Copies of this chain bind each other. A is one copy, B any other.
Amino acid sequence: MINSDMQVFTAKHLAEVLTIPDKYLRRLMTDMSKKGFIKSIQGREGGYVFAKNASKIYLSDVVDAVEGIERYNGCIMGHETCSDENPCSLHNTYAPIRDHLISFLLNTTIAELKDINISKF
């Protein structure tokens, strides 16, 4: 039962539009569904729909689900103990860049990727 005003897309439709195999797309979508980004609707007239509005899903959520956000937080030199108080030799030059990147991920939503040029990736 659909109680959302968001559009429902079937695997068949998406596979055609994206020109990737139906079965493969389904597997990816099922994974995204388990990760909570989309909801799946089984049965006739079913399909996939965003679990919440795309403007509420942050890039950091996706990065975290796919590869873990931790990779972005560590010391560039690989030191466990590196911090503002106990900086490695590159901490002061690199940490601000890293922090800006993280805040970019935390503040940008997938809705903002609407105009992306997919063919470049």
Residues of A whose CB lies within 8 Å of any CB of B are 74, 77-79, 88-90, 93-94, 96-97, 100-101, 104, 107-108, 112-121
Q: Are A78 and B112 in contact (CB under 8 A)?
A: no
Q: Are B115 and A88 in contact (CB under 8 A)?
A: yes
A-B complex: 7 closest residue pairs judged by Cβ atoms: A78-B120, A78-B117, A97-B100, A77-B116, A79-B117, A97-B101, A89-B115
Q: Are B119 and A77 in contact (CB under 8 A)?
A: no
Give bound CA distance, A90 to B110, whole Å. Answer: 11
**Cβ of A121: which chain B residues have Cβ within 8 Å of it?**
78
A80 nearest CB across to chain B (Å): 8
A78 nearest CB across to chain B (Å): 3
